[in-house]
Amino acid sequence: MENKKTLPNSTATLILGICSIVFGCLFVGFILGIIGLSISGTSKRLYLQNPNEYEGYGALNAGRIMSIIGLVLGSVAILYWLIFVVIIGAGALPWLEFLSN
């Protein structure tokens, strides 16, 4: 039986993907999703060059998918908060004009 090497960063990508979904409603999920995707790129290239030499591609792929989901959730959360701040700011403008007179 041949000993296969574990893909580098496959476990880290999986953990970052899980954390990006868990913290997806916060800005942290967006950042963790970006980090998870960026560190998985080199490992995916290594596996695609020589798939018989490495194991752990399932964990790497699952981590990439969860990082993408966490990135989307984080983007939606950031967009939500930006719209919220704009609405609150627009609602406060009449009060600021009233107070300045």
For 26, the 3-state DSSP assignment is: coil
101 or 43: whose pLDDT is higher?
A: 43
Domain positions in the chain are 5-75
pTM, full prediction = 0.84
13 or 99: whose pLDDT is higher?
A: 13
Task: Give, for 43, the enclosing helix (H) or strand (E).
Answer: helix 27-49
Cα separation of 52 and 5, whole Å? 10
- Tell me the mean pLDDT in the region 36-61: 93
- Position 101 scores a pLDDT of 67
Q: What is the pLDDT of residues 66-76, one digit of tens each?
A: 999 999 999 99
Q: Count how many Cα atoms sit within 13 Å of the Cα of residue 88 in the half-sphere of its side chain.
A: 6
Mean pLDDT of the chain: 90
